[in-house]
Amino acid sequence: MFFRRAREDRAFREAQRAGYELFLQLQAAQPWPDFPEQTAPAPAAEEAVAADFLPPELRVPSRQEVAGLMMRWLQPLIIEDEVRTCPGCGAYRDWIVFCMRDDSVWLRCRAGHETKEPGLDAAWYNRNSGPVERFHPTLEEGLRHLGH
């Protein structure tokens, strides 16, 4: 269990590094299954359409373009009747909750410990997250915006 968790943490950090520039916040107001997927036209056509509308920095990234979603969760997080505590420091509230592109959910405590939370999934995230607020080009910017 310990080793598995350590490996997951490492994988998460690597994914973060790899996706650092892409780490954006997208809090979908609608559950993703209802979210109109951009059925892929030829890439060139898509770019041409986008160019007619907004500059790239103002365009809303699609779910496939963001590395993950994030929200702040101030109150204690109760999963299967248990208050979730950080394995690193014992914190039990003021989380940043991440929902990654693979639909895994991760918790980050105030001290920056990140733990995969198998008891939560993208459906839970969608039920509990607010509407889209903004997009962050980096993870750090997102954390700062959310007060961490």
Q: How far is the CB of 77 from Zn ion (least distance, A)?
A: 13
Q: How far is the CB of 86 from Zn ion (least distance, A)?
A: 3
Element (H, E) at 127: helix 122-128
Query: Is 38 in a helix, a strand, or coil?
Result: coil
Question: Within a 10 A sphere around the Cβ of 98, how many other Cβ atoms?
Answer: 25
Q: Which is nearer to Zn ion, 101 or 113 (CB)?
A: 113
30 phi and psi angles, rounded to 5 deg: -105, 150
Q: Which is nearer to Zn ion, 18 or 111 (CB)?
A: 111
Q: Which is nearer to Zn ion, 49 or 111 (CB)?
A: 111
Q: How far is the CB of 107 from Zn ion (least distance, A)?
A: 9
Q: Which of 57, 77, 97 is nearest to 106 (CA)?
A: 97
Residues at the contact surface with Zn ion, assessed by CB under 5 A = 86, 88-89, 91, 109, 111, 113
